[in-house]
Structure 1
Amino acid sequence: MLHIHFTAEDMARVRFAPRPSPVPELHAALLMLGAPHEGLLFGRWRGRLLRTLPGAAEPLAELVPGGAAPRFLDVLGGSREDGFALIRSARPEFVRSELERVYAGQNPVPPWVRALHHGDAAAWGTLDRAQRAAYETVLAPVWPLVQDLHRAEFTRYALTAAEQGLAAALATVAPGSRLRDGVWRWPTAPSAREAREAGEVRKAREAGEARELGEAGVARKAPPAREVRLDGRGLVLLPTFHWRGGPLVQDLPDRPVVLTYPAGGGVPPAPESRGPQGSRGSRGSRGEPGGLSAALGRTRTEVLRALTEPRTTTDLARRTGISNATASAHAAALRAAGLITTTRTGRSVHHERTPLGTLVMGTGHTP
């Protein structure tokens, strides 16, 4: 179990990350590479990446010798460069203490990690190159899809919060969780070892052989709940589409707590196929998101894209290459979907995106 304790001040400081963050998403993906118990859904993805991951990325594995990463890697940032700059700005004493923590009892320590412990610039360069190499192989091919998935998750949360309130919105993040008396209780997923042992006990019981496993195995107690106290710092919700385990919590002093939770359809995003002319197969010639074009249609997507500012029907028609009557019909459909509003001043009609329409189109931000 995970228990997150809110103060009254924290209730007003819950926010959803407006866009995906490359560094946490990359770290979640690298954690999944080391989780073979997810072979059914992630096996093909893992095999492909292990075959293609360049040697320059290997230092990242050396930063997690016991399965726990140093906390100075816990950053957000709107791009990979922003994220690495935040990592690089960590206090030297914090970097040293975290490296000492993760390497406690671990030998040998790689030379470049020893150099990083001493603040060596070349060691930071090694880490930068490792992150860049891993990003280009693991995330860059699927980043447009991750952005689309994040927008869908953002929209789902925002609409639930607006219609039903914070408690219901948090329940969409973690089905089975509940917010009561200022505590968000989240039932965490069992570890791979716990799931395996539970399966063994169940099979033994079915076969009438539970005694062979010993009473300790049958009566294993659930681990104690992890208690996270926000204490006025607030909470940032960040979905990840490369992680299937329990929530990943960034809980650092004087920073908002960041809760990274598994989202999406349960399988890792796959690179989009290439069309015959080298463009992405599920994207149009202007690069519109394939899922949005499939849902709205190419022309309506172009109409919505053209509304970077309020425009008349005639202006929309001219910008999208369609007739005034067709532009008016598409605007009516988008208005019915809540994606645009239409106002009339005298004989002039102006169309404008709603906040939902802007959210659906995205911000245009790239890592």
Structure 2
Amino acid sequence: MFRIHFECADLARTTIAQRPDPLWEVLLGLHVLQEDEEAETYGPWRERARARLSSLERELLALAPPVGYSPDFLTPRAASEGLEAGLTAIAATRPGQLKSELTRLSDAVRLPAWTRRLAGGDTTVMSRLVHGLRSFHRTKIAPQLPMIAIAVEPVVAKHNDTVANDGFEKLIPQLHGSLSWSAPVLSVDMPHVNRDLYLRGRGLRLVPSFFCWKHPIMLQDPALPPVLVYPARHDLARQEVVVRRPDRARAVADLIGKTRAQVLLGISGGACSTSELAARVGISKASASEHARVLHDTGLVTTHRVGSSVRHMLNQVGADVLAGGRG
């Protein structure tokens, strides 16, 4: 049993993330990739991902064994602000944390030689790891985001309503069958686990996840910001499937929003700065920056920093989305 101890302040500071965390989805996607269970939910994705796994992405498997411990530094809190913020936090992981967590992992699994250089603070190896994580998100996670949103958003909406109307206590059994509440302790029934986590006023961040499926998951280090990642998958099989010939241009706008679709189209006109993008679309620079950030985080565009400015470019995933919209 994993026991999470609340104080009054913790209940006031407990929050529900409104969407999956990009780096938790990467880590848990890597777990799912190495399993063969839940074929109905993950089978087609798993088959495609395994067939198209690059050597850079394959290296990530060493740090994400499907059973047991995975290093906490792979899922920093900063990723709640977006993929790039999370990757920046990973790159800045303290050497002591790297060494400690990789040593712990090496006690359970055999690690390749490059992980020793990573533990030693080799910036070249860290850069390669960050590129691998970004690539896995762009090629394996981002293309699934529309489907993930359809699966997760109704679940999160239900949880929001429960908290608003009935309170935190009524939410617990909805999150997962392994969770139980006996004030002031939230218990998670997990195999081979006997731990206590004292929140001490920090609150608990509840994060829905599409790729989390066995049971809720938490960080190992109790000093890190507390998080509980829980499975959140709407039963798509029970939804009525309507087959029709779509208006693809409208479908793209419906999917990502009219303004964001216009921003994506604006970027397709060629690499541009945020100011140039704002002028192309006819919106404020701040709005253009925010829409470009979201498109980048979802893998539709690539953003590079050049001196004090950034350049936005359409990537293949974004091009495919627009191609569908023009079809």
Give the TM-score category using the shorter length: 0.5 to 0.7
Q: Is the 8 A contact 2:154 2:234 kept in 1?
A: no
Q: Is the 8 A contact 2:176 2:216 kept in 1?
A: no
> In the TM superposition, what whole-angstrom CA distance separates every residue of 1:186-223 from its partner, at most 9, and x where no partner exists?
344x6xxxxxxxxxxxxxxxxxxxxxxxxxxxxxxxx5
- Residue aligning to 2:90: 87
- Residue aligning to 1:72: 73
Cα distance in 1, alignment partners of residues 42 and 218 from structure 2: 22
Shift of 1:162: 1.0
More moved, 237-246 vs 172-181:
172-181
Question: Is 1:3 equivalent to 2:3 in the alignment?
Answer: yes
> In the TM superposition, what whole-angstrom CA distance separates every residue of 1:241-269 from its partner, at most 9, and x where no partner exists?
1121111102534443110011113689x
Q: Is the 8 A contact 2:20 2:210 kept in 1?
A: no
Shift of 1:112: 2.1
Q: 1:144 aligns with which of 143, 146, 159?
A: 146
Q: 2:117 aligns with which of 111, 115, 118?
A: 115
For 2:212, what is the secondary structure of its paired residue? Answer: coil
What's the Cα RMSD here?
3.1
- The one-letter code sitting in structure 1 at the alignment partner of 2:74 is L
- What TM-score do you get using the length of structure 1 for normalisation? 0.61
Question: Structure 1's 120 and 33: CA in aligned 2 closer, same or farther, altered over 3 A?
Answer: same
- Residue aligning to 1:48: 48
- Residue aligning to 2:261: none
Cα distance in 1, alignment partners of residues 60 and 52 from structure 2: 15
Q: Is the 8 A contact 1:174 1:186 kept in 2?
A: no
- Residue aligning to 2:103: 100
* Runs (5+) with no aligned partner, structure 1: 191-222, 269-274, 291-300, 303-363
- The one-letter code sitting in structure 1 at the alignment partner of 2:104 is R
- Residue aligning to 1:238: 207
- Residue aligning to 1:343: none
Cα distance in 2, alignment partners of residues 285 and 97 from structure 1: 48
Matches within 5 A, 1:1-367: 1-64=1-64, 67-76=68-77, 77=79, 78-104=81-107, 106-107=109-110, 109-175=111-177, 177-188=179-190, 223=192, 225-265=194-234, 284-285=250-251, 287-289=253-255, 365-366=294-295, 367=297
Shift of 1:96: 1.0
Cα distance in 2, alignment partners of residues 139 and 168 from structure 1: 32
Question: Structure 1's 105 and 224: CA in aligned 2 closer, same or farther, altered over 3 A?
Answer: closer
Cα distance in 2, alignment partners of residues 251 and 10 from structure 1: 19
Question: Structure 1's 244 and 106: CA in aligned 2 closer, same or farther, altered over 3 A?
Answer: closer
Q: Is the 8 A contact 1:251 1:258 kept in 2?
A: no
Question: Structure 1's 55 and 224: CA in aligned 2 closer, same or farther, altered over 3 A?
Answer: closer
Cα distance in 1, alignment partners of residues 39 and 28 from structure 2: 16
Q: Is the 8 A contact 1:167 1:178 kept in 2?
A: no
Question: Structure 1's 237 and 94: CA in aligned 2 closer, same or farther, altered over 3 A?
Answer: same
Q: Is the 8 A contact 2:209 2:231 kept in 1?
A: yes
Q: Is the 8 A contact 1:41 1:266 kept in 2?
A: no
Q: Is the 8 A contact 2:212 2:229 kept in 1?
A: no
- What TM-score do you get using the length of structure 2 for normalisation? 0.68
- The one-letter code sitting in structure 2 at the alignment partner of 1:75 is P
- Residue aligning to 1:348: none
Cα distance in 2, alignment partners of residues 106 and 250 from structure 1: 18
Structure index of larger Rg: 1
Shift of 1:74: 2.5
Cα distance in 1, alignment partners of residues 223 and 153 from structure 2: 28
Shift of 1:40: 4.8
Question: Structure 1's 15 and 254: CA in aligned 2 closer, same or farther, altered over 3 A?
Answer: same
- The one-letter code sitting in structure 1 at the alignment partner of 2:12 is A
